[in-house]
Structure formats: C-alpha cells, structure tokens
Amino acid sequence: MRMIDPDLLRTFIAFAESGSLARAAAAVNRSPSAVTAQMQRLEALIGEPLLAPAGRGRALTPVGEEFVDHARRIVEAHRDAWLSLKGARADGRIALGSTQDFADTALPVLLRRFARSYPRVRLDLRIGRTKELTSAYEQGQIDILLTMRQGPAADELLVLREPMLWLCSEAGLASVEHELPLAVLDPPCGFRATAIAALEGAGRAFRIAATSPSLSGLRAAVLSGIAVTARTERFLGPGIAAAPRHLELPALPAAEFGLRLRPQAHSVSADLAALLADELPRLSIDT
C-alpha cells in the first residue's frame, strides 16, 4: 500500500477549497510551481488525474471530487494523532486573544479539539477589540493573537481574507430616509473606517445612527432595524441578512484577519497556534 504525505493532501484540500492553484499556493505558503509539482506527485500516487484544465485554470475531476472527503479525513486523523501524542503529558498556560468574530464561530470547535488532546493545559481566553488585544500581545500578555490585521508582521502565521458585506435586519430598516443610517463600533475600527470610506467614495449620503463599543450592541442596533452595518458573514445570524439590493450600497473590500504567535511563547502555545493556522482557513464561517 502506498503512503501519502499529509502535506500533499493539505495542498490538495487548499486547491479544492479555493479553486485556484495560485490561491492554494498562498494558503500553504508555497510557490505556484511547487504546488503544481505537489499535485503531480499526488496524482502519480493515486494513479488517477485529480485536476483537469478548465478555461484558464484547473478544476477537480470526478475522481478529485470524490477524493476530497478522504483527504480531509486523513489530514484530520493525522492532526488528532499528533496532538494526542504531544498533549497527553503537556501542561502549562496559553493566553489567547481573539475578536468576537471568531469566538462566535470557529474557535469553539478548534478549542474543543485541542482540549481533548491537551487536558492539563490551562487556557486564558481574552475576547475583545483589535486595538486592545494587539496592545496586550505586544506587552507579552497574550501568546496567540487572532484579530483584524493591522499590516504584515514577522510573527504572523496566517492571513485570512473574507468578503466584507453590508448587513441589516431581515425585516428591513425601521424607517426609509434619504441618508443611509449606519451602525458602527466606536473608533478605532477597521470595519467602521472601511464602511465610511466606501460610502464617501460613492457619494452616498449617510449618517451614524448607532454606535457601540461591542459587537453585542452593534448586533442589537442592526436587529432593531435602526441601521445597516458592514461586517463579514461571521456576523450573520437569526434576524440578520445581507442588505437588499434596492439600497444600492457600494462594493466593499475583503476584511483581513491575522493569526500571530509570540516568539517567546511556550511550546503548547505553538501547538495550538499550528492547529488554528491549519484549520481556520477550511472551517466554514457558520461552523
């Protein structure tokens, strides 16, 4: 029986989820030529073509579509075995700082997986705003940082790019007016700055109708129909939907989130950071 290098499977999964060799290369931190070579090696091991030409790019073959689920299970089993072997006797403390975006979506799933393998490790979880968490991280109070990206950093393990959307109450706005009512977090906030810049750039009249220091307050404002806001799909939930087209809102850029690991952090922090770096890109937003 032929053994398959899990790195080949991770690259294959990255292609399957991104639909592009270039995007897969960025996801696994390799060059496009290296990714192409990896896919050729994997096809040679499988004995079947997994990718086929499609327009200017490549797409999964029927065999490739079938193999994706197998690849995911193998990689997950490999990861769980690695964590269990390392974590059975490990102890220590991990300080993790994250914005609410991930605390409400992907983090619970991944932290549960980590806790099963590292039962003796204490987790200090701090959920807050990007500015405050980044400051704490730079002061050595946080080992792992998952926040909106401020720019390239030497200790950055992962960059997540997610579409930014205009969102509002499923019931629509409570009142119709010439100026678009906007709900935003208190400054500084990347979403706030981006939303205002987009509206000003499009010449769209607006007013700040609601502000809040927290996402729970922002959610209440949007649910009530007081205003629209700009976030990613992670903010969707019961009662909140994409803003209707008739509002004719301008396009928004992608939001960027960064995962950073403090260089002096304990080895168990590095293990958790590696798990997050591997799994966050493939977890669905509504996990």
Q: What is the CATH number of the domain that holds 138?
A: 3.40.190.10
**Would 285 be classed as within a structural domain?**
no
Q: 286 falls in which pLDDT band (50, 70, 90)?
A: very low
**Would 33 be classed as within a structural domain?**
yes
DSSP letter assigned to residue 122: E
Mean pLDDT over residues 51-78, rounded?
Answer: 86
Predicted local confidence at residue 223, as pLDDT = 95
- Among 27, 56, 85, which residue terminates a domain? 85
Residue ranges making up the domain that contains 234: 165-252
Selected residue with higher pLDDT from 250 and 48: 250
- Among 67, 85, 103, which residue terminates a domain? 85
Q: 287 falls in which pLDDT band (50, 70, 90)?
A: very low
Q: 5 falls in which pLDDT band (50, 70, 90)?
A: confident
Query: Is 269 in the same domain as 153?
Result: yes
Q: 21 falls in which pLDDT band (50, 70, 90)?
A: confident
Predicted local confidence at residue 118, as pLDDT = 84
Q: Do the bridges between strand 206-212 and strand 180-185 make them parallel or antiparallel, or are there none, so unpaired?
A: parallel
Query: Is 57 in the same domain as 81?
Result: yes
Query: Is 169 in the same domain as 241?
Result: yes
**Would 31 be classed as within a structural domain?**
yes
Query: Is 118 in the same domain as 235?
Result: no
Predicted local confidence at residue 27, as pLDDT = 76
Nearest CA-CA partner of 191 in 284, 101, 90:
101
Q: Domain count of the chain?
A: 3
Cα distance between residue 137 and residue 131, in whole Å: 10
Query: Is 105 in the same domain as 245?
Result: no
| 283: pLDDT strictly greater than 80 | no
- Among 49, 65, 85, which residue terminates a domain? 85
Predicted local confidence at residue 79, as pLDDT = 73
| CATH code assigned at 25 | 1.10.10.10
Nearest CA-CA partner of 165 in 251, 283, 257:
251
Cα distance between residue 276 and residue 265, in whole Å: 15
| 78: pLDDT strictly greater than 80 | no
Query: Is 145 in the same domain as 98?
Result: yes
Query: Is 126 in the same domain as 237?
Result: no
Long-range contacts at 103-110 (CB < 8 A, ≥ 24 apart):
103/127, 104/234, 105/234, 105/283, 105/285, 105/286, 105/287, 106/279, 106/280, 106/283, 106/285, 106/287, 107/146, 109/283, 109/287, 110/275, 110/276, 110/279, 110/280, 110/283
Predicted local confidence at residue 84, as pLDDT = 65
Query: Is 173 in the same domain as 211?
Result: yes
Mean pLDDT over residues 113-138, rounded?
Answer: 90
Predicted local confidence at residue 124, as pLDDT = 93
Mean pLDDT over residues 24-53, rounded?
Answer: 86
Query: Is 244 in the same domain as 262?
Result: no
For 276, residues 6+ apart whose C-beta sits below 8 A from its C-beta are 110, 144, 146, 157, 158, 259
**Would 135 be classed as within a structural domain?**
yes
Mean pLDDT over residues 263-285, rounded?
Answer: 84
Query: Is 238 in the same domain as 130?
Result: no
